[in-house]
Chains A and B, each alone.
Chain A
Amino acid sequence: MSLDTVKNATETPDASQPWKELGLKEDEYARIREILGRRPTGAELAMYSVMWSEHCSYKSSKVHLKQFGEKVPENDAMLVGIGENAGVVDVGQGYAVTFKVESHNHPSYIEPYQGAATGVGGIVRDILAMGARPVAVVDPLRFGAADHPDTKRVLPGVVAGIGGYGNCLGLPNIGGEVVFDACYQGNPLVNAGCIGVMKHEDIHLAKASGPGNKVILYGARTGGDGIGGVSVLASETFDAASDSADGTGKPKKRPAVQVGDPFQEKLLIECTLEIFKEKLVAGIQDLGGAGLSCATSELASAGSGGMRVELDTVPLRDATLSPEEILMSESQERMCAIVEPQYVDRFMEICEKWDVIATVIGEVTDGERLEIFWHGEQIVDVPPGTVAHEGPVYHRPYARPEWQDALQADDAGKLPRPQSSEELRAQVLALVSSPNQASKSWVTDQYDRFVQGNTVLSQPEDAGMVRIDEESNLGVAMATDGNGRFAKLDPYTGAQLALAEAYRNVAATGAKPLAISDCLNFGSPEDPGVMWQFAEATRGLADGCLELGTPVTGGNVSLYNQTGDIAIHPTPVVAVLGVIDDVNRRRRWRSRRPASCCTCWATRPRSSAARPGPRSSTTTSAACRPRWTWAARSCSARS
């Protein structure tokens, strides 16, 4: 195949292009042509297709997510808000903490081990890119029925992947959830969160400014893995017949899943932290979803606008990769830094010390275009903002599902009651043997919770806590919670319940809740009922955050968690971050008498939304619409 240069694209306006196969809609393709004033080259089409995917562009969710920026509570802790790799909050004593929860749902269903492993790797690089040392991870997980054969394929792989990757990075796993529900059978949820710590002055942002500054790609070589991961994999509904297994018995989309190398990531972390320490970078971005397309366009777009990249200088694992594939590859363990020319030698020395490959692939220009060349021929010439930030925005129709009333009316009062001691016995046994109620140590014991020597609280506590300063004993706590069953009954209140539960779990440790990150897992946005759930949940969460005074610092939206017509329960997962000025004052689960009192008040039953069923494995029951605002505050006042 000959190279599709900008010149060629101008000369052959009618050449047919695989926009549909790349996941673009017809009107989106038309808009790209309009922006460029010509047809895109193959490389440009590749970039737009991944960056305009649902996963990267938030095109269906944007209009609702806006609320998190509008309903901002008064809170002077926020240092960096939504839009960067992760939000940053001030935790005092000159420290800043960055944290975020992300999803890696679709890849983890297709290839559980690598999907989950690279989910951990991706969130850790996001945190690292902010300038922080990652200090802990959490993993909220949801699987189908515990006794379903496919759960036996998915769960062990996911848990081993999280452990295999996280343990090898030396990050303590201090929390998360394990929930079983048949609604996640074809769409397990693998969310991964990470906390990072830095001093205020070390905060780094993803922007490329200063013409003449070098663009350095460092870390792993680029391979053919994860091509189209964000578009054709994560931004489409699974089709039960063709995706779960074709004739070979293997999911067809498997090549779209990335393959991780945690050892390489560990080197990348230490190398990057040393580079930060010497203040060698002007801007930095990790490579995750959408790979180089994302890193180059976002860096250029957030900076002065111009960048020139020689794509053929990118170190490859597979020499046969085309420029389009290199731009779309989601090979892991890569970072992209903007470095002033006088620091390049020192930058390279540090990379060499850590055995990390680093290559100058281009430079910041004083123009306004992102220009990419392949052996001297221009294959990309675009305004970077149109790729990175000006993707399509959809006002998707939404409507309250017709079945919602019937679902809400079907309350626990209608369930049969045991009529004999045998029936009562059977019911009690069923309850205590439910996988959702059982101890999760068989999962959490596969994760290292001790490494780094700062873990104050971890499993089986409801919130994890790590010390971040050995002199002052300053610490941070985090809890993640969510309950898809409640959110399905009432998405607005369900999202608030997730927030309230995580907030209480943090407050009950003695830490003061400061801010939140969320991972919003839903079905297809093309279904008005799902879109209504999403709209309600985001509205509920934004209102709840306003009420509690905890801003949303960032997060992730995962849509299309749906197989055929069957969507998962709407599952907003909320991570609350808290700060404690002296970890000696932390409260443990087994001695949490005062807090137990608080949580009693926090869960006064109100039957309309109550419904029996599996709950998340927490001690603070969330079985009802809470009167949490004042209760949680009285709790944190104790700390």
Chain B
Amino acid sequence: MELIYHFLFDPVSSIREIKKVRPCLLAGSIVILATVSGTIGNLLVTGLAPDIAKISLTLGLVIKLISIFLLWLIFTSILHFIAEGLKGEGEVSSLFISLGFSFIPGILLTPLALISHIFGPLKVFIYLLFGVIILIWIVILQVLALKETYQLSYGKACLAFVIPICIGGISLFVLGILSLLTLISFIDSLLSF
């Protein structure tokens, strides 16, 4: 519990603690809670039809959890590879657990979604604002995790963090275009039936 507290308010010292203690299960629990909280928060604000919301909450959540765990693993591996390339030295397991802890602010998404309802029609905008703040907070924690685990400078840590995001972003963009083209030709083939 103290680890969670310190990670939020004194992340540097708690990352050092994580290197010693390796609370993998706790990190996993945090990731699960944050994903569930994020899903519920989004559903509360977007106001989907109850039948679609039920599917999103059940099947959608399962898919999201599997994806987030895979992404967590892949992202850790990529960051480890880049950090070592930038002459950093550290253990991938410590980074893995620290990145899991960095999701702690995500647990606040559901209460924030409920709070945003006070603002009536502005709730979506307010929730988005909260979401951006939480995202920035998580990114800062992840950069700190990278820095402390591999003893990198702030600059190198930021660079190591940004590189896979840029590559991932470009890949997703290209994938998105290709998917769209495939979908268009698929729909076209249906319409011409």
Q: Do A and B bind each other?
A: no
B residues at A contact (CB < 8 Å): none
